[in-house]
Every structure is written in structure tokens, then in C-alpha cells.
Structure 1
Amino acid sequence: MSDDPNEKMLQALAHQSAGRPDPGPSSYASRTVDWRTLTDDRAPVEWAALRAWVEWFTVRFDVPVSVVPDCWWRHGEIVEELAALRSAHLLLFDPSDRGTGPSAWLQYLSTALPRLTRAGGGCTREHREHRSRSWANATDEQAWTAWVTQSHAHQDGPGRP
């Protein structure tokens, strides 16, 4: 087996989806992905690993399309939730766990499902492009500069309007 943690993770996910136990050590368990800084050369590996896990997860837990739509990968908020769940799952199902990991993961899942439901709503039949928030031209720079030159610490105190 390779020493590359991503390859180990992909092999483990392949075994998991085939119903076989993970054959190797769990050095991949604590790996997380910072999607904001993900490089182009790492992207295919990370996306493939997340996709394999999402497909396993949604089938295993019978997650409806209204919660994780087929176009989940096109929604940043859903990607972040699923990636966080996957990271927690890999960590908490580590063979070194003393038995509390699976229960803890289910608690994480129960808090994530409402957020996933809120984020995934609207794309049950076809993808609906979400207009992402932008800061371009959103801030009045003069008002910002005037604001940040004061502490505003006691504006609501006695003697203040």
C-alpha cells in the first residue's frame, strides 16, 4: 500500500463502498480539506474522496434529495457541511477509538441535518444557480473609514444619544 494519505483514504473508501473493511492503517483519519486554499493539483483527489463518501453517506442514511441534492457539489455551503461530516466520520470511526466515536458522529449528524436541509432546499428536480454574496462595491469606503477611526466603546453609555 502507498504511503500517500489520500491514496489510503481512497482505497479505504473503495473498500467501504464494496462492503469490505478498511485494509490499512488509519493515518488518513484526521485529514481535513480547506476548500478555500485547495490547489488545482489536489482538487481531483479531494473531490473524488468527498464524492465517494457523499454517495455512501446518502445511501446508507437514506438522505433525501431535498437535503443533499444531486448537484450538492455546486453549493459551497453543502460542500462545507458534507466535508465536515466526512472528516468527523473518518476521525470518529478510527480503529483506535474506544467505542464512543460512532455515537459522537451521530450527534454531529443530527446537528448538521437541519443546516443541510436549509442549504439544499430548492434543487430537488434540477440545479438552481445560487447567486453568491459579493463584497464588490458593497462597502461605502468613506463611511467605513469614518467608522473605524473611533472605538465606539461607550456609545450607548450615560450622556450619549
Structure 2
Amino acid sequence: MTREDDFQVPLEDEPDLVAGGDPHSRADESAMEPPRPLNWNLLTSTNARFEWNELDGWVKWLRDTYGLGPTTLPPFWHRHWDLVWELSALHLHWLCAYDPQQHGSAPLGWHRDFHDASVRLRNWTADCGTKLDRDRPTRVAAWPGAPLRELATEVVIADRDADFAAFVDADVAGRRAREDALIAAIAAA
């Protein structure tokens, strides 16, 4: 064992690493491409499952590494699009800042922006009403002339990982159904 081995970070402390232990690697064919912004509205069912799991692994790493409490990073972030978009952007920023080709000061810029993002995360978490052990859909006020929205109640969620898996399954199934309907409409035309 060399002195350098004393400073190695165990792999289990890293976000969802692929073979080789490079946190900048991706398990799909885009591994050689630079990270690109992710538009959740345009993902296919196949890509959505992959991206959800990538983001979840990174968010868990972020939470553990920075000791983020549930008022900043709630366990049910995946149920609230404002949190998904913010965390997705933060993840992309992290990937770019820690890319080996990046300038040496890029991580400092990420930390500055992470501080700003943490403030937004706290605000959105307070607004959406998600808590440590329960969640409810984000309340959105009806605009004048629009139909009133039904107020959703809180549900207790005992197993966060099971809830995440069920959420992703439902999201992927919804995307697949829309893809199938589009294919059927094209075939019928």
C-alpha cells in the first residue's frame, strides 16, 4: 500500500459510479460526450428510467456529502417538478465543474452556485409542502376563469426508496403510453 492509497475515497461514497470508478462516466453510449442539459419533458420512456436513477443516485450522494436536511432536500423531491428541475440543473453543473477537462477553479464556482441553489431548494420545499415522512402534491392556485383545483391531502410514506421506484415506474409507463399512442396515430394516418 502506498501513501496515495491513504487518500482514496471509497467507491460507496461516490454517486452511482460505472465500472472504472470515474464519477464523470455515464453507463450509456453518451459516455464520451460532454454532459448536456436534460429536458425532462422530452425524454423517452427508456431514457427517463436511466435519468431518474442517475439523478437519484447523485441526489443521495449530495445529501450525504453535504448533510442536507429535509427542509433543503426532502426525501420526496421526485414528486415535485420544481425540485426535480433544480436538482437536475445542479447535477449537470456538478458534472461539468468536476470534468477532468475543466478549469481548476470550476469546483469553486459550483459551490458558489450550490449555495444559491440551496436557498431556492429551501423555498420550493416550503412552498410544495413535502415533509420528512409525508407528501402532498404542490398546491397551485387556479387563475381567474380557470376551474378550481381539488385540494390534495397528505399521504404518509413509510419507504422512500419504494416510493421512488413506484414513481419512476408510473412516469415511465405514462411516457410509454404516450409513445405508443403517437406511433399508433402515425400508423393510422
State TM-score, norm by structure 2: 0.58
TM-superposed CA distance for 1:133, in Å, is 5.7
Per-residue CA deviation, residues 93-138 of structure 1 (Å, 9 max, x unaligned), is 1001221111010011011111100111232331122234667953
Partner of residue 128, structure 1: 136
- Distance in 1 separating the partners of 2:95 and 2:45: 24
RMSD: 2.9
- Note if 1:104 corresponds to 2:109: yes
Q: 1:76 aligns with which of 63, 71, 81?
A: 81
TM-superposed CA distance for 1:44, in Å, is 0.4
Change (3 A) 1:44 1:57: same
Higher Cα Rg, which structure: 1
Alignment: residue pair count:
126
More helix by share: 2
- Distance in 2 separating the partners of 1:99 and 1:110: 19
Per-residue CA deviation, residues 52-97 of structure 1 (Å, 9 max, x unaligned), is 1100001101110111111000000000110010000000110012
- Distance in 2 separating the partners of 1:71 and 1:49: 16
Q: Which segments of 5 or more consecutive residues in structure 1 lack a partner in the other structure?
A: 1-11, 140-161
- Distance in 2 separating the partners of 1:88 and 1:23: 12
Partner of residue 153, structure 1: none
Change (3 A) 1:45 1:135: farther
Q: Which segments of 5 or more consecutive residues in structure 2 lack a partner in the other structure?
A: 1-13, 148-189
Change (3 A) 1:101 1:67: same
State TM-score, norm by structure 1: 0.67
Question: What amino acid maps onto 1:47 in structure 2?
Answer: W
Partner of residue 120, structure 2: 115
8 Å Cα contact 2:71-2:125 kept in structure 1? yes
| Sequence identity (%) | 27
Q: 1:41 aligns with which of 35, 39, 46?
A: 46
- Distance in 1 separating the partners of 2:78 and 2:24: 28
TM-superposed CA distance for 1:23, in Å, is 8.1
Change (3 A) 1:64 1:24: closer
